[in-house]
């Protein structure tokens, strides 16, 4: 399963890339707004660093505006994936932009029918928001299970990009369901490494080794 970082913060990405597990980056207008500066310059720097798919989102809400912004975003780097919201204008823009050979990430997906339609118009990625569904007492991972089943039935090429992840269990369940990608905030990526028994075990190994070294030198 591929792992993307969900942030527009260059320093956070720079700190995680050396781990060797980062396959791409996703951003959205809220994340980019936090960074200030020129979003296009930030996306370019991220593309140059990650050398993998980097999703940049349009802010227009009309079809013509989305297509214009999408072409402009795609001109930043070969690594740019154009992100459009799941609206009727977004679906039309996805059809047009994917028809021009651009990669499109359809975002703000909350239902299997939205995911089905996004695949029919050639989306490269569908981004179901599991955490926001959990927030309203709706099991977000059930949506992933449904989308995986539907996409499997029709061999759609669209990849499932699990978004709005909030903790390691979202990644575990996504992997068990065969999702293609999880995008995670930096804190969630850190949490994937943690296990108290690993820490306890290493501490004991090193203490035993030190003790033996101490005995050996006495
Ligand atoms: O890209 C989507 C993601 O950033 C949303 O996450 O945690 O705001 O639901 P969250």
pTM of the model: 0.95
User: What is the per-residue pLDDT across 108-120, written as a single tens digit (0 to 9) for each?
Assistant: 999 999 999 999 9
Asked if the model's pLDDT at residue 24 lies above 90, the reply is yes
Neighbours of 93 (CB within 10 A): 28
Q: Which atom of ligand 1 is nearest to the CA of 135?
A: 9
Q: How far apart are CA 32 and CA 216, in angstroms?
A: 57
Asked if the model's pLDDT at residue 218 lies above 80, the reply is no
Confidence of residue 216 (pLDDT cuts 50, 70, 90): confident
Q: How far apart are CA 123 and CA 117, in angstroms?
A: 9
The answer to whether 142 and 86 have CB atoms below 8 angstroms apart is no
Q: Say yes or no: CB of residue 28 within 6 Å of ligand 1.
A: yes
Per-residue model confidence (pLDDT) at position 87: 98
Of 5, 6, 35, which is best to mutate to test ligand 1, by the most ligand atoms within 8 angstroms of its C-beta? 6
> Shortest CA distance to 74 belongs to which of 54, 90, 59, 96?
54
Q: Which atom of ligand 1 is nearest to the CA of 183?
A: 1
Select which of 83, 157, 176, 211 is catalytic: 83
How does DSSP classify residue 55? E
Per-residue model confidence (pLDDT) at position 60: 98
Per-residue model confidence (pLDDT) at position 170: 98
The answer to whether 37 and 47 have CB atoms below 8 angstroms apart is no
Q: At 139, is the secondary structure helix, strand, or coil?
A: coil
Per-residue model confidence (pLDDT) at position 80: 98
176 flagged as catalytic: no
User: What is the per-residue pLDDT across 133-179, written as a single tens digit (0 to 9) for each?
Assistant: 999 999 999 999 999 999 999 999 999 999 999 999 999 999 999 99
- First-to-last CA distance in the chain? 51
Phi, psi torsion values for 76, nearest 5 degrees: -70, -45
Q: Which atom of ligand 1 is nearest to the CA of 27?
A: 1
Confidence of residue 53 (pLDDT cuts 50, 70, 90): very high
When pLDDT is averaged across residues 189-193 and rounded to a whole number, the result is 97
Q: How far apart are CA 8 and CA 42, in angstroms?
A: 8
Q: How far apart are CA 136 and CA 134, in angstroms?
A: 5
Of 86, 133, 163, which is best to mutate to test ligand 1, by the most ligand atoms within 8 angstroms of its C-beta? 163
Per-residue model confidence (pLDDT) at position 42: 98
Q: Say yes or no: CB of residue 92 within 6 Å of ligand 1.
A: no
How many residues are present in the chain?
Answer: 218
Phi, psi torsion values for 196, nearest 5 degrees: -60, -35
Cα of 205 vs centre of ligand 1, distance in Å, is 40
Per DSSP, the residues of 161-201 read EEBS--SHHHHHHHHHTT-SEEEE-HHHHHHTT--HHHHHH
Confidence of residue 215 (pLDDT cuts 50, 70, 90): confident
Asked if the model's pLDDT at residue 202 lies above 90, the reply is yes
Q: Say yes or no: CB of residue 132 within 6 Å of ligand 1.
A: yes
Cα of 164 vs centre of ligand 1, distance in Å, is 4
Confidence of residue 51 (pLDDT cuts 50, 70, 90): very high
Please state, rounded to an integer, the average pLDDT across all residues of the chain.
97
């Amino acid at each position: 399963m591929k792992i993307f970082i969900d942030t527009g913060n260059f320093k956070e990405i720079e700190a995680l890339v050396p781990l060797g597990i980062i396959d791409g980056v996703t951003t959205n207008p809220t994340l980019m707004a936090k960074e200030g500066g020129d979003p296009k310059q930030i996306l370019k720097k991220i593309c140059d660093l990650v050398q993998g798919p980097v999703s940049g989102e349009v802010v227009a809400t009309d079809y013509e505006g989305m297509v214009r912004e999408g072409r402009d975003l795609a001109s930043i780097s070969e690594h740019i994936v154009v992100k459009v919201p799941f609206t009727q204008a977004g679906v039309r823009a996805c059809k047009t932009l994917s028809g021009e050979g651009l990669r499109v990430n359809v975002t703000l997906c909350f239902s299997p029918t939205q995911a089905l339609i996004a695949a029919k118009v050639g989306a490269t990625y569908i981004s179901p928001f599991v955490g926001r569904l959990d927030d309203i007492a709706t099991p977000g991972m059930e949506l992933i299970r449904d989308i995986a089943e539907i996409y499997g039935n029709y061999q759609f090429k669209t990849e499932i990009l699990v978004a709005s992840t909030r903790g390691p269990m979202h990644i575990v369940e996504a992997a068990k369901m065969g999702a293609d990608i999880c995008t995670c905030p930096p804190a969630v990526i850190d949490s994937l490494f943690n296990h108290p028994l690993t820490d306890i075990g290493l501490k004991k190994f090193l203490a035993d080794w030190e003790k033996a070294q101490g005995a050996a030198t006495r």
